[in-house]
Amino acid sequence: MAVAPTSTALNEPADSVLCAKNLTVGFGEATILNDITVNIGRGHATALIGPTGSGKSTFLRALNRMNDRVSGYRRNGEVTLEGESIFTSGMDLLDLRRKVGMLFQRPNPFPMSIRDNVVAGVKAHRMAKRHQFNDIAEARLTQVGLFDAVKDRLNKSPFQLSGGQQQLLCLARALAVEPDVLLLDEPTSSLDPVTTERVESLIANLVPSISVVIVTHNLGQAQRVSDQTMMFFDGELAEFNTTKELFTNPQHPLSSQYVRGHIG
Amino acid sequence: MNHKVRKSLKASLLALPTLGLAAAMSVSLCSTAGAATKKASLAVVAPPTSKVSLSETGSSLLFPLFGSWMTAYSETYPNITVSTASTGSGTGISSALNGTANIGASDAYLSPAQVQATPAARNIPLAISSMFIAYNVPGVTDHLKLTPQVIANIYLGKITNWNNSAIMKLNSGVMLPNLPIVTVHRADGSGDTFLFSQYMSVTNPSSWGNSIPIGTTIAWPNAPGAIGATGNSGMVSTCGSTPGCLAYIGISYLAKAQLAGVGEASLKNKSGKYVLPTSATMTAAALSFASKTPKTGTLSMINTSAKNGYPIINYEYAIVLSSQPNSTTAQAIRSVLSWIISPTNGNSMTYLTPVGFIPLTPAARQNSANQVAAIK
Amino acid sequence: MSLVRTEAASPSNPGPPSDSASVRERLRNAETVLWHRGTFVAAVLPFLGLAFAITVVAIKGWPAILVNGTHFFTGSTWQPGSTYGSTVYPHGVATPQGASYGAWPLILGTVQSSAIALILAVPISIGAAIALTERLPRSIARPANFAVELLAGIPSVLFGLWGILTLGPLLARDVYPHIASIMPDVPVLNFFNSPTGHGEGLFTSGIVLAIMIVPIITATTVELFRQVPSLNQEGARALGMTDAEVTHSVTIPWVRNGIIGASILGLARALGETIAIAMISGAILGHTAQNIYSPMTTIAATIVSQLDSSFTDATGFATATLAEAALVLAVISVVVNVIARFIVHRTGKLGGPVGRG
């Protein structure tokens, strides 16, 4: 089915943190993303919606090159971060991932103490001295509202925490390396409603100092946390619009059907 | 006098020092052996007509020979089958004594304590073997000359280099390298160690003598660079790959040792002659002990006084119980052993030459025949 | 026939009794009982086996334990005594005159050679496992992995032969002299700084043992690494960690307990290895290794090399002493396992969640 984005001109390149240009991604024979061109606005929260298998997660993972290691990976087109290609050899992959952080579908703490989890990235990027680690850990845990719950067991394993607490820990860990962009891949799909609400309000508070891109199946969540939304369908960008516009006045027939719950 | 002391006194009375002991034992065993005064026939005993399976286990040195013996024997007497196994002399002795094997093969004779524990135990000489002193000294092409005193001092750690003056004096004209000596001994229990320790003990009564008891395993002196090797084949390969090696190896492995570049020392005998282990020097030595072999067959044949005799020879033994569970088994064992000691059969050079053994002397053969005849 | 019908016919459920169903029910009950008993027996058997083996060895070794006393653990002489001489009766036990056994060199040799093996093998195995699971392309990793599993099954006598014929002389000629020449003459390191001998000894034994246990530890570690959830590794990668950092801070800690377990498995083989050590250790009884190149021996190698000879000791004392040595080896193995459990318990708290992800 041939679909075309209704709007790619929502953000000027100068106002965009990440830009995709004719981005095509495939694994082996299968083409997952087809010719995506889009500018993701700086300081915005952008939601990626669409049916399962529409390519939104692959698009998200293209932005910090997490697809590179998947077997059969191939790519055409370009992605730029602040105008600089993320694929050139001049781009330090590790630095890219520091600037473009990620939170996953399920919590994925490391097998180390809660404190070490928070400062793991700080350590790897040598962003602070060892004696500052405690303060950093406390600050980030406080930021995500987890400090009081774990302050007595900072040296203990994170695997004793609840799933929601683990996800908050992963968020604190991602924030500790001071990213410019945060990619969230259905970050609340495994969480209870209360924690989901908390994560949503945290995300809302990150913007505009951090640009947020969030993949979600929860249309309510997309409406609550984002101000711009990309609608993916079958590997193509069906529509890119302000969240309000896309949900109240979808331009594309597929968007219209999806937001009314007729597809996916 | 308490029980313990009496017991140990009795034991020490029974167990006199090795060489003198043979005579003492032959006397004590005479009464039980009974028929020993009569001369038994030297002819091969006919086996029973029924099918009999016998088992032999023990000495790894004797194993290849026993195999070829039994193949030939079973061709003549197909109803007798003998399974053979290479397990070591110690296992051969213990298996024969506790009845799990009919024949135990051993390079060493029974100890007084073993005879005391199992009075029916017999050690019957089957053939005569020898041992050579091996070395790996690069550049030495002719046979090195060694005396038992020098060998002892090397194993005792008193001589540590091949260019030591004591070795040079024996080998004038030979270019001996400045090379540390690596003494190699058997790490596993071995009849060869038994033989070598006897040789050292007898020839060095003061320095080696009784301080290191003879045995199939001994407490080796702490010579620098001493190493152990397993089995005669291990001795050959270790010596072959270790420049500076000095070792003692069963005569059967002489050809293999030469292939591995290992030399064979010429040993100074009691009468001052340097001799190699050949059929002639071994026979000369064996003849010198012929009249001394006791009826029990228990005899150390170390350090012959024969002019051309090689100083290290020994009997290879069959360990059997003189009273067998039934007459058929006893008859089969008599048949097998009488075939082995027969000079036209088992003791012919056809079998003995490939392993470097020599036949029993006539006196020793009569002795063995008498012991065989007494197996009932 | 469906399960639902069977359930309907079970005694607790009122329903029309069906003959075939009740027969099946009874069969199932019998099967359940059999299953429970069978698994119980299977669970108890190893303990019974261990208890039986240790009891037998302890009974066989009792005369030696009585006579050898603490000297067995501190003494260095291995003197079978005069087996062709007289018998004496210390503590009422018949022994050849002059018999005196001290197993300290064997105990130390066992621990030293196994320790060297473990120190060499664990890093190599982890490195190999990383290469096999993460670094090498699948087309190479698969056959390589197969080769590793094959290596784990090679009889130790081959390692022994190879050690004595090839590796030992090679190390003695081309490797040990260089190690010895760069080692300073300070405590601990001067253990390396001494005459390097002829290639049969402690270091060669440790190296051959390491080669023998590397496949065991590697094969197990590869399986462990495959169990590490990729989600957690991706998390580390997404944070900007290098491959090495991901391996170091996520993959290895995640399966640390398993790696310790695999290492203990390898250590157990090293402690009990017999033939290869008998061939390459230099097989020296009576004193401990003076330096890392010295000939030595271990408990297991001594038992196998001295067993036949022990039968020439008519008092049975030599055999009893070997049984005592076997008991010591069993105790060392148990102690090593207990220490390993303790380490797992102490460090395990930060490891990956068991049975999750």
ipTM associated with this complex: 0.90
Give CA–CA dist B129/B252, Å, rounded: 8
Confidence of residue A2 (pLDDT cuts 50, 70, 90): very low
Cβ-defined contact of C309 to B230 (cutoff 8 Å): no
In-domain check, residue A58: yes
DSSP string computed for C106-143: HHHHHHHHHHHHHHHHHHHHHHHHHIIIIIS-HHHHHH
Give CA–CA dist B100/B118, Å, rounded: 14
Distance of CA A22 to CAs A12, A236, B118, B183, B237, Å? 16, 11, 98, 80, 72
**CATH classification at residue C244:** 1.10.3720.10
Which residues of chain C does A127 touch, with a Cβ-Cβ cutoff of 8 Å? none
Interface of B with C in 196-225 (CB under 8 A): 213-220, 222, 225
Domains in chain C: how many in total?
1
* Cβ of residue A125 closer than 8 Å to a chain C Cβ: yes
In-domain check, residue A97: no
The pLDDT assigned to B26 comes to 40
Is the omega angle on the peptide bond into residue B119 within 30 degrees of 0, that is, cis? no
Cβ-defined contact of A125 to C240 (cutoff 8 Å): yes
User: Which domain-ending residue is among A117, A152, A178?
Assistant: A178
Give CA–CA dist C88/C81, Å, rounded: 10
Q: Which helix (H) or strand (E) holds A215?
A: strand A211-215
Burial of B62 (0-12, 13-18, 19+ CB in 10 A): buried
Give CA–CA dist B326/C5, Å, rounded: 70
Task: Answer yes or no: do A129 and A254 share one domain.
Answer: no
Give CA–CA dist C180/C173, Å, rounded: 12
Supply B98's token pair. Answer: 């506790």
CA nearest B61: which of B188, B148, B146?
B188
Cβ-defined contact of C164 to B93 (cutoff 8 Å): no
Radius of gyration of chain B (CA): 21
Sheet with A30-41: strands ordered across = A30-41, A16-27, A73-81, A84-85
Confidence of residue C190 (pLDDT cuts 50, 70, 90): confident
- Nearest Cα of chain C lies from the Cα of B323 at a distance, in angstroms, of 20
Domains in chain B: how many in total?
1
The pLDDT assigned to B37 comes to 55
Mean pLDDT over residues A139-153, rounded? 94
In-domain check, residue C1: no
State CA C228 to chain mean position distance: 25
Task: Answer yes or no: do A135 and A249 share one domain.
Answer: no
Task: Answer yes or no: do A150 and A225 share one domain.
Answer: no
Q: CA geometry: angle at C286 spanning C284 and C291, to 5°?
A: 65
Low-confidence ranges of chain B (pLDDT < 50): 1-36
DSSP string computed for B357-375: -BPPPHHHHHHHHHHHHT-
- Residues B40/B63, Cβ–Cβ less than 8 Å: no
Confidence of residue C351 (pLDDT cuts 50, 70, 90): low
Confidence of residue C13 (pLDDT cuts 50, 70, 90): very low
**CATH classification at residue A221:** 3.40.50.300
- Nearest Cα of chain A lies from the Cα of C237 at a distance, in angstroms, of 8
CA nearest C287: which of C20, C142, C106?
C106
Supply B36's token pair. Answer: 């020993």
Distance of CA B237 to CAs B64, B242, B354, C280, Å? 19, 8, 20, 12
Give CA–CA dist B334/B336, Å, rounded: 6
Mean pLDDT over residues A57-79, rounded? 91
CA nearest B187: which of B221, B144, B218, B162?
B218
Task: Answer yes or no: do A264 and A188 share one domain.
Answer: yes
Give CA–CA dist A120/B314, Å, rounded: 76
Q: Which amino acid is at B206?
A: S
Q: Which domain does C251 fall in, by range?
A: 104-300
Give CA–CA dist B305/B295, Å, rounded: 22
- Residues B228/B185, Cβ–Cβ less than 8 Å: yes
Give CA–CA dist A197/A203, Å, rounded: 10
Across chain C, mean pLDDT equals 86
B122 φ, ψ to 5°?
A: -125, 140
Residue A125 CB contacts under 8 Å (≥ 6 apart), including other chains: A94, A95, A98, A177, C240
Mean pLDDT over residues C165-175, rounded? 88
In-domain check, residue C173: yes
In-domain check, residue C156: yes
In-domain check, residue B326: yes
Mutate: best of B18, B156, B227, partner C, most C CBs <10 A: B227
Q: Which of A90-94, B348-352, C266-270 has the lowest mean pLDDT?
A: A90-94
**CATH classification at residue B113:** 3.40.190.10
Task: Answer yes or no: do A185 and A72 share one domain.
Answer: yes
Cβ-defined contact of A124 to C239 (cutoff 8 Å): yes
Confidence of residue A148 (pLDDT cuts 50, 70, 90): very high
In-domain check, residue C62: no
Radius of gyration of chain C (CA): 27
The pLDDT assigned to A6 comes to 47
Domains in chain A: how many in total?
2
Q: Which domain does A221 fall in, by range?
A: 7-85+181-264
Q: What is the pTM (predicted TM-score) of this model?
A: 0.80
Cβ-defined contact of C232 to A96 (cutoff 8 Å): no
Interface of C with A in 315-354 (CB under 8 A): 349-353
The pLDDT assigned to C279 comes to 86
Task: Answer yes or no: do A185 and A264 share one domain.
Answer: yes
Considering all CA atoms of chain A, what is the largest pairwise distance in Å, rounded to the nearest integer?
A: 57
Supply B147's token pair. Answer: 């005396």
Task: Answer yes or no: do A44 and A78 share one domain.
Answer: yes
Q: Which domain does B15 fall in, by range?
A: 9-373
Task: Answer yes or no: do A21 and A52 share one domain.
Answer: yes
In-domain check, residue B264: yes
Residue C84 CB contacts under 8 Å (≥ 6 apart), including other chains: B15, B18, B21, B111, B112, B213, B214, B215
User: Which domain-ending residue is among A178, A196, A227?
Assistant: A178
**CB nearest to B187's CB, from C83, C169, C305:** C305
In-domain check, residue C248: yes
